[in-house]
Structure formats: C-alpha cells, structure tokens
Structure 1
Amino acid sequence: MAPEVDPEINPLIWKAIELKRLLRFWYKDRERIVEPHDYGIHKGVVKLFGYQVAGSSSQKLPNWRWAEQDLISGLELLDRTFAGGRPTKSGKHQKWDKLFIRVKSADTGKK
C-alpha cells in the first residue's frame, strides 16, 4: 500500500518550499523551525527533509533533519524566508522513492 499524503500538511509544505519560507511545527514533542528543502517518499514513508535553524533538538543546531509527515503537528507557515538550496558536504542529495518537490538553489534558481 502506498503512503498517504496528509491533505492538511501537504499544501503548507509545498507552499513553503515554493516560496522559500520557514516552517514551524512540533515533532516528537519538540518545536522545530526549519528551512524546508525536500518533500517526498523516502524508504516508503512520506517525509520532509529540512535544515533546522531554531527550536528544540537533542543535537547541535543548525543541522539537517528528517521529519515523518505522520509525526508532524501544529504546522505553521512563517513569514521569514530563506535563500534556497544549501550545499551538502558530499555534494549529493538524498535518494527518494518519489520526490514531490525540492527547493530551488540559492545561487542559480535551479532545482
């Protein structure tokens, strides 16, 4: 059975990625403020991959974070924007089963 996209969460994530706007949400009892970069199906689960810039974390911030769609609550689109795609240490992107949307690059405007 294919994973389902949450109709309440999906449009906000999509809009945030298209407009390069930060998202605030709760994930596993912690508030996260992230730059949303990728949204899709990863290892059979609908997930958001983003760069967490603020909020609560058990690890050092800022840093890259996964968020399973089903564990996201209180999703809010913020007015604050970000530049776009960030370079990765390896220069490679995550491998997705199906990528719905990826933020455009900060420098070139390319996906």
Structure 2
Amino acid sequence: MNQTIISAIEERLLLTFDYKGKTRVVEPHTYGLQHNGNESLSAWQLSGGSGQDFRLYVFDEKTAVEAQSKSFEFERPAYQRGDRRFSKIFAEL
C-alpha cells in the first residue's frame, strides 16, 4: 500500500510517476487491489501518454510516485465510487 497515493487522493493532489517509459501526470480517483491482486490506480491522465482520459495503472513495489503541490477540485464526470474492478479499495474520492 502506497501512502503517497492515499494522501494525494485525500488531499486531491496531482501525482507524477513513470509508467511504460513515459512520465505521467494524473488526477488520482481510486486506489486499491484488483481481483487478481494487482495494486492499481484509476486516474484521469492529464499528460504523458495517449491523451486525456481515465486510465488504470498497475503498480509494482518499484514504481516511484510523487505528489505534486498542485491540486484538482472536481471528480471527472465518468468517475463512479466503488469501482468494481477493485476487490479492496484503499482510497477513493
């Protein structure tokens, strides 16, 4: 469990991390374990990949995640609490 991600969700802070060779900047929405046991983050991607949209990122223990000082105000319209892709949710908006 990554406390940086949990705190960023609670404080609505942007996150930055490297994922599949690109630096991503995201608005984190849901963080937890998927049914297959993968630690994952559902977030709105702002930059670093193929456009702005919700993405599901699967993390391992080596993934370095940094909270930014910049915050975001609102949940994205497509967001739904209690995302069924997760068997256990550590934090969500």
Q: Which runs of 5+ in 2 are unaligned?
A: none
The count of residues paired between Structure 1 and Structure 2 equals 91
- The answer to which structure has the higher strand fraction is 2
CA distance in 2, matches of 1:72, 1:34: 18
CA RMSD of aligned residues (A): 2.0
Q: How many angstroms apart in 2 are the aligned matches of 1:99 and 1:70? A: 16
1:24 aligns to 2:16 (yes or no)? yes
The 3-state SS of whatever aligns with 1:31 is: strand
The answer on whether the counterparts of 2:25 and 2:47 sit within 8 Å (CA) in structure 1 is yes
TM-score of the aligned structures, taking structure 1 as reference length = 0.72
Aligned sequence identity (%): 31
Contact 1:32 1:52 in 2 (8 A): yes
Deviation at 1:73, TM superposition (A): 2.7
In structure 2, the residue matched to 1:50 is: 43
Answer 1 or 2: higher relative contact order, Cα 8 Å, separation at least 6: 2
Deviation at 1:71, TM superposition (A): 7.3
User: Where do 1:1-111 residues align within 5 Å?
Assistant: 5=1, 10-44=2-36, 45-55=38-48, 57=49, 59=50, 61-70=51-60, 73-88=63-78, 94-95=83-84, 96-103=86-93
Structure 1, unaligned stretches of length 5 or more?
104-111
With structure 2 as the length reference, what TM-score do the two structures score?
A: 0.85
Runs of 4+ residues deviating >3 angstroms: none
